[in-house]
Structure 1
Amino acid sequence: MIRTLTAADLSAYRALWMMGVSQEPSAFLLTAEEVVATGEAALLAKLAGGEVIGWFQDEALMGFLAMRRGGVTRLRHMADIGPLYVHPQARRAGAARALMAAVEAEASAAGILQLELCVDVENAPARALYERLGFVQIGLRPRSVVIDGVPRDDLLMLKQLDTPRNA
């Protein structure tokens, strides 16, 4: 089941986010320390704003995906997505694809014309998923992040929602 996360999901969301950051730091912008330091009020505001959806298995949160629409008028046609994280035990069950489809449907219904994301160039499984879903690389951000003193590059990817996939 997929649904928008609410304040009642705060502890499960924080726990899954922390697990992901700890086990796969290159998949997240924030460090574990920054996740821990993120205040409850900020997270509650994010959840209250409907920015995060979750994938549930037997009522347990097993995956999440955030979407943030552009804030100013000239950016309202686009939304940034991510992070996307699925618990290792729930992988290969279609959770990531379902979360992405739900965000895409929500974005289209809201009149958003394109989705944008960043992904670590070395994260081959995520890159392959995004490509299968119709995202295309539009750029490279060298040294996008530095993890434990090591610079990492990100691919910038985009999916136009108002253009047929084979156009």
Structure 2
Amino acid sequence: MSDTITDTVIRRLSVDDVGVFRDIRLEALSCEPNSFASLHEDWINLSEQEWRQRLEQPVFVALLNEQPCGMMGLRFQKARKMMHRATLTSVYVRKPERGKGIASDLLGAVANHARELGMLQLELGVSAENSAAIRFYQRYGFEPVGRIPRGFRDNGMSSDEVLMLLPLEKTRE
């Protein structure tokens, strides 16, 4: 029997879900090292308290047959004049589960959560070399708004960072 999208549940992690968060985050950093600004070795030795602190900002997980297969988080601006903005972080779906709508479901849950909190826009940075991710974000209304030359640097290699934005305001008709 094949897995279907109906077997997928999206939910926000609580600090009690630190083990689930640790497992899926370390998996993401290990399996897709070029997709993240963080490195696996930056996260592997975090203390339990540091893992819990990272869950103070919202992190949503996709569970397929009760097993984590994807995640997406939000980071909020703290400066009062920027509090209407949220940044999409830690976007990951396991390769075998891609193309099943899981990333779309995660993005929907994250965007709805941000709207409920009064956010007016979602922002993200993605490597210019990650064309599949850029196409995904564009399908859901993200627009490129800038580019940082050499925004990512790893092992002596640089790639540009594409900055993208999704307005969350309700459109007026």
The match for 1:35 among 40, 43, 67 is 43
> In structure 2, what is the Cα distance between the partners aligned to 1:164 and 1:118?
24
Residue matched to 2:140: 133
Q: Compute the TM-score of the two structures, normalised by the length of structure 1.
A: 0.92
Q: CA deviation at 1:9?
A: 2.6
- Answer yes or no: is 1:24 the counterpart of 2:38: no
Deviations 1:64-85 (A, max 9, x none): 1110121121111100111200
How far off is 1:148 after superposition? 1.4
After TM superposition, the runs of 4+ consecutive aligned structure 1 residues lying more than 3 A away are none
Report what 1:85 is aligned to.
Answer: 92
RMSD: 1.7
Output the amino acid matched with 1:15: D
SS in 1 for 2:78: coil
One-letter code of the match for 1:6? Answer: S
Question: 2:57–2:76: 8 Å Cα contact kept in structure 1?
Answer: no
Q: Offset of 1:163 from its aligned partner?
A: 5.3
Distance in structure 2 (CA, Å) of the matches to 1:84 and 1:135: 15
Identity %: 31
Unaligned runs of 5+ in 1: none
SS in 1 for 2:169: coil
TM-score (norm 2): 0.89
The CA distance in 1 between the partners of 2:101 and 2:143, in whole Å, is 21
Structure 1 position 157, deviation (Å) = 0.2
